[in-house]
Each structure stands twice: as structure tokens, then as C-alpha cells.
Amino acid sequence: MNLHSIGGFAAYVCAGTYLFGFALLVTVMAPLGFGTSDVSATMVVSFISANQGIMILWHTVIYILNALALAVLVVALSTQLQGVSGLWAPVSLGFGLMWSTLVLGAGMIANVTVERVALLADSAPEQAEHLWEVLHAVELGLGGGNEIAGAVWIGTVSLGAWRGGIFGRLSAGLGVLVGLAGISTMIPALGDLAGAVFGLGAIVWFIAVGSLLIWSAPRTMVG
């Protein structure tokens, strides 16, 4: 198996981590307010105290596993762009590795936060709530609350692949739309909606890119 195919499977893993994250978000995490600006620190601390393993699993999948698979995909797509899109290859590589690093950092902070909060939940619940609020803000700043880095990478690699004849209009157009949705998360009034559109659109984009990488010959992908 070459990097081309490995990158395709990595794209599928990225899509899978998003699907897993959305599944828990709309079921287990929804009552806590996750995915909205109304998340309750008191309820989160109580949930962590009783379900520490679920929170760590959620963070590990949506952040850490996603970041590792994303790094592989970034390198695979950059390799495809070399020689066909000029400066798009190194630019997309830089943006992509930046995004994967931020996502990985968000995941490590999120899991350490869960561990520390679990230790304080019974003996000092108010301190635990304050700690969670502070570190959760750091987590969101790195990659859970805005999608700037991901938006720039998806948009850049989609445009570069289209200019190089690797992506067709559908794949490139979807990537640009996903990128615009991600950038829109900077606008507070659109943050929650834009984040949902980015996440759902990214799932489709990852699946499309994964299929192109697996089923098409290197540097001849069009879709």
C-alpha cells in the first residue's frame, strides 16, 4: 500500500471521527449544552465525575485520532500536488500540518482537563467548575470553537487540486464551501450554525477525497 492509498484511508478515518463526534454530541452531550454557547459547567463537572471514561474517549476520537489521521492525509495530498500546482503543495502542507497540530493540542488539553476536574469534582466542585471553564476556553481557542485553520487548509488544498487537475469541480467546490463555512465561525452570531455546516460538510468532503485517493491513480484524480 502506497501513501496515495494510505491517505485515502486516513480521509475515511477523519470522516469517521466526525461522525462519531456528532453521534455523541446529539445524544450523550446534548443535555449538557455542548455544541452551543449555553454549555453548563456545573452539569459538565457532574457528568465528568460519573463518566470520565466517556469524555476521554470522545476527546481522544474527535481530537487525537482525527489529528493523527489528518496529518497523514495532509502529507498525501501535498505529495499529489507536487509538480502539478506550483506553490499550492507547500502552502497546503503548511496549513494542513498547522491544523493537525492545533487539533492534537486541543485534544491533549481536553483530556488533561477531564482528569484534573475529576480529581476536584467531589472535594472542591466550584474550583472544578472554574478550572473546566478556563481550560475549555483554551481547548476551544485551539480548535474546538472555531474552524479557521481547517477552513483555510480545506479551501487551499481544494483550489490547488482543482487547478492541478486532481480534483473535479464538485470536490473542489465542496471544499471551498466548507472552507467558507469554517471561516464564518469567526462571526459570533453565526458560530454555532457555521460550525455545524463546516463539520457536516467536512464529513462529505473527507469521504469524497478518500474515495478519490483510493480508487484513482496518483495525480489523475478527478471528481
List, as one string, the DSSP characters of 162-220. HHTTSS-HHHHHHHHHHHHHHHGGGSGGGHHHHHHHHHHHHHHHHHHHHHHHHHS-TT-
Q: How confident is the model at residue 48 (pLDDT cuts 50, 70, 90)?
A: very high
- Within-domain flag for 222: no
pLDDT at 94: 95
- What is the pTM assigned to this prediction? 0.91
Could you tell me which residue, 33 or 129, shows the higher pLDDT?
129
| Contact yes or no for 205/11 (Cβ under 8 A) | no
- Within-domain flag for 220: no
- Within-domain flag for 138: yes
- Within-domain flag for 164: yes
Instruction: Please list the helix, strand and coil fractions of the chain in percent, rounded to the nearest 5, in that order.
Output: 80, 0, 20
Q: Is the pLDDT of residue 219 over 70?
A: no
| Contact yes or no for 169/177 (Cβ under 8 A) | no
Q: Is the pLDDT of residue 52 over 50?
A: yes
- Within-domain flag for 172: yes
Cα–Cα distances in angstroms (integers) from residue 143 to residues 17, 69, 93, 195, 205, in the given order: 15, 16, 18, 11, 19
Closest CA to 200 of 11, 7, 22: 22
Number of domains within the chain: 1
Residue 28 is classified by DSSP as: T
Q: Is the pLDDT of residue 223 over 70?
A: no
- Within-domain flag for 43: yes
Domain carrying residue 30 = 3-215
- Within-domain flag for 152: yes
- Within-domain flag for 221: no
Sign of the Cα torsion 191, 194, 25, 202 reads negative
